[in-house]
Amino acid sequence: MKRVVMVCLGNICRSPMAEFVMKDLAKDRDDLVIESRATSSWEHGNPIHRGTQAILNQYHIPYSASKTSQQIKEQDLADYDVIFAMDESNLKDLLALSKGRYDDKIHLFIEGGIPDPWYTGDFEETYRLVKQACESWLKKL
């Protein structure tokens, strides 16, 4: 079993989109566990952003409506096998939490990172990049 976690700043826009797009693409595989977390506690307990929910609905990607934001903990770095940072800032925060112990598990999800739709408002761009990165990584997982 390979445990994968998608990580962004708030765990309401990009990382839940990546979690459910990857789950959908990997629905025929029983060897993957896929979840998502935030680097911050800012959105703790809040549901998936309606922009991400709209995209998941539009592309008929199933998701859990009860999923709420959770901050990543040191223990998660030990427990997960593959840790994806949605952007360079998330990567920096994860490496700071890792303190050199889990660096080999931590990867930038896509070159250049996924721009934050919280600021850009462009959830279509988020989806396009998330799907591209999921398809590319899935072959290697």
* Residue found by looking up tokens 């029983």 in the block: 30
Judge whether 8 counts as a catalytic residue. Answer: yes
Please choose, out of 10-18, 26-34, 92-100, 130-138, the segment that lies near ligand 4NP by the rule CB under 6 A: 10-18
Please choose, out of 5-13, 20-28, 29-37, 57-65, the segment that lies near ligand 4NP by the rule CB under 6 A: 5-13
Q: What phi and psi, each to the nearest 5 degrees, are found at residue 38?
A: -105, 155
What burial class does residue 112 get, using C-beta atoms within 10 Å of its C-beta: 0-12 exposed, 13-18 middle, 19+ buried? Answer: exposed
10 forms part of the interface with ligand 4NP (CB under 6 A): yes
Query: Of the residues 13, 14, 93, 134, which is catalytic?
Result: 14
Judge whether 79 counts as a catalytic residue. Answer: no
Is 139 strand, coil or helix?
A: coil
Specify whether the backbone of 127 is left (phi greater than 0), alpha (psi in -120 to 50) or beta.
alpha
Judge whether 14 counts as a catalytic residue. Answer: yes
Among 19, 35, 76, 116, binds ligand 4NP (CB under 6 A): 116
Among 4, 5, 6, 9, binds ligand 4NP (CB under 6 A): 9
Closest by CA to 86, choosing from 47, 42, 46, 125, is: 125
Q: Which residues are catalytic?
A: 8, 14, 116
